[in-house]
Amino acid sequence: MESYKQIDIGKAKEIIERGDVTIVDIRDPQDYRESHIPRAVSVDEETIQSFIEKTDKNKPLICYCYHGISSQGAANYFKEQGFKDVYSIIGGFEMWRHTNPTVNQ
């Protein structure tokens, strides 16, 4: 089985702009509330099972954390749960926010 792919910010933006993608923020809910990638969903230990059950596994899934380390494990886990195209953003949210707009709640 093919594993997840690590992608840079440019590639992530390309996939997001194509639309029909699921974006997962695995940082603390508090940090998510403060700022996140537009259309991203906050997923944590309490919500992950429900997220997996309700989410279309055929849509590309991009996950990110703070610096791109934890999201690698998360991406691997989502791949194991049956998601087809799974990506982890290299450099995580910190890299994203230096070059792209974010959403503040």
Catalytic residue numbers read 65
Beta-carbon contacts of residue 42 (< 8 Å; ≥ 6 apart): 25, 27, 29, 32, 33, 36
